[in-house]
Amino acid sequence: MSIDYAAFRRELEEFARKACPPEIRAVVAAGQKVTKREYQAWQKICNAKGWGAPSWPKEAGGTGWDIKQRLIFEEVMAESDCPPLYHHGLGHIGPVIIRFGTTEQKARLLPRILDGSDWYCQGYSEPGSGSDLASLQTSARREGDEYVINGQKIWTSHAHEANMIYMLVRTSKEPKKQDGISLLVVPMDTQGITVRPIKSIDGWHHLNEVFFDEVRVRADNLLGEEGKGWTCAKYLLERERLPPANVARLELVRRQVTRLVDEAAAAAGARRDFSTLRHKLLLCEADVKGARVLMANATDDMIHQRPLGVQPSVIKMICGECAQRLTTIALDAVGPQAAQRFLADAGEDVAEATWIQNYMFTRSRTIAGGTAEVQRNVVANELFGA
């Protein structure tokens, strides 16, 4: 039976308009930071509708939507100022559990992601093992029915809010550093885990150090085979760099910045020329449209189990760099007075302060999840060979 995509879009638009609380949409529309409270509330609303996991298969509790429906969902939610669904559970570890988890693990872990009970953070990066992920040193030794974990993770987003972490650990030392790595899921309230905040330049608290001191976790929290975690890690990274929401959200930011420039131009009148900013906005619009086409092609390949090649790296670079240029335009639009607003009293609701924080935050977009330099190496190796 053919799908009426126009009717599907209308159904989504009505749902977004009626189901998403106005106070949550106001946060998104203003470009403010979406917190765990908004994420969890929206996840529960979508899950109650049966739309808690747009990209998961039906047998795992997802919608079973095709590629076009998933892209329409992301577009409509962004156009309607609804928050994205939180990515660490649904977009990262969820697909890994579906692909590599046992029947028991799927039954135990997936429903708690769907209803928002479990909030995951990612334990990949370590001091000295960021882009060179396979050089990680955090260890886990097997003792009976448990693994005992020692080591440190860093740059762990939302670890101070998460109740679960998925993490790569070294379970043996092999000649090839990609071997001997395993993937565990660990409750954050396990004895021996310490979380310390890292202050970032944007003034928000996302990042943390996480320390593991003789942390004991049940052996049935191992995903996939012991020592074969690198396969799971690569599978997860492909999805981390290819979330459909990235492109739709980039379009949302483009519209927000365009509105900001229009308002600033109207307020300034003939006293200031905004033609340069408008030209930069047009270039960004072209990049967003290009990224949308690339995203559709890549997602189609993923659905049909075709190799993704360098597509995730290319899309990640375009989205990260375009986000930085958009927030730079926003900063230029609000003017130098924004710097003083950033230093204003905490809690003051000032639009300019939000934009300078967004500008600062997007500096990380070409670092997090694999630096732009690493992505360019991936593309160059594909084109010219290692």
Cα–Cα distance, 119 to 236 (Å, whole number): 17
Residue 209 exposure: Cα atoms within 13 Å on the Cβ side: 7
CATH number of 120-227: 2.40.110.10
- In the set 240, 263, 352, 373, the catalytic residue is 240
52-61, 90-99, 112-121, 246-255: least confidently modelled range: 246-255
Q: What are phi and psi of 308, to 5 degrees?
A: -85, -20
> What is the average pLDDT score of the chain?
88
Q: Quote the pLDDT of residue 342.
A: 63
Residue 244 above 80 pLDDT?
A: no
Alpha helix segments (H runs only) across 206-350: 229-240, 244-268, 275-303, 311-334, 337-342
| 272 token code pair | 């200031």
Residue pair 194/210 in contact by the 8 Å Cβ criterion: yes
pLDDT at position 131: 67
Instruction: Give residue 186's identity as a one-letter amino acid code.
Output: V
Residue with tokens 């905040």: 197
For residue 385, count other CB atoms closer than 10 A to its CB.
6
Per-residue pLDDT at 63 = 94
Among 25-29, 42-46, 147-151, 305-309, the least confident range:
305-309
Written as six digits, the tokens of 378 are 């991936």
CA-to-CA dists, residue 384 to 313, 376, 378, angstroms:
16, 12, 10
Supply the CATH classification number for the domain 241-384: 1.20.140.10
Query: Active-site residue 240, yes or no?
Result: yes
- Residue labelled with tokens 């290819």: 242
* pLDDT at 346 exceeding the cut of 60: no
* Secondary structure of residue 112 in the 3-state scheme: helix
How far from 304 is each of 93, 297, 365, CA to CA, in Å?
A: 20, 11, 29
Q: How many CB atoms lie within 10 A of CB 204?
A: 14
| Backbone CA torsion sign across 321, 285, 77, 331 | positive
pLDDT per residue over 186-213, tens digit each? 999 999 999 999 988 888 888 999 999 9
- Residue 228 gets which letter from DSSP? B
DSSP letter assigned to residue 148: E
Q: What is the pLDDT of residues 46-61, one digit of tens each?
A: 999 999 999 899 999 9
pLDDT for residue 213: 98
- The amino acid that residue 192 corresponds to is G
Instruction: Give the pLDDT confidence of 141-199 residue by residue, as tens digits.
Output: 999 999 999 999 999 999 999 999 999 999 999 988 889 999 999 999 999 999 999 98
- The residues, any chain, with a CB within 8 Å of residue 129's CB and separated by 6 or more, are 135, 136, 137
Of 261, 244, 199, residue with least CA distance to 76: 244
Reference 118, options 90, 142, 143; nearest CA is: 90
Rounded CA-CA distance 135/178 in Å is 8
CA 228 from centre of chain: 24
21 band by pLDDT with thresholds 50, 70 and 90: very high
Whether the CB-CB separation of 125 and 134 falls below 8 Å is answered with no
- CA torsion 38→124→354→325, rounded to 10°? -130
Q: Hey, how many other C-beta atoms are within 10 angstroms of the C-beta on 226?
A: 18
Rounded CA-CA distance 7/371 in Å is: 40
- Listed by start position, the domains of the chain span 5-85, 120-227, 241-384
Instruction: Reply yes or no on whether the pLDDT at 77 is more than 60.
Output: yes
DSSP structure class, residue 363: G
Residues in a beta bridge with 170:
139, 181
Computed on alpha carbons and rounded to an integer, the radius of gyration of the chain in Å comes to 21
pLDDT exceeds cutoff 80 at 340: no
> What pLDDT is attached to residue 48?
95
Amino acid sitting at position 301: D
Strand partners, 217: 147
pLDDT of residue 185: 97
Contact (Cβ atoms closer than 8 angstroms) between residue 58 and residue 382? no
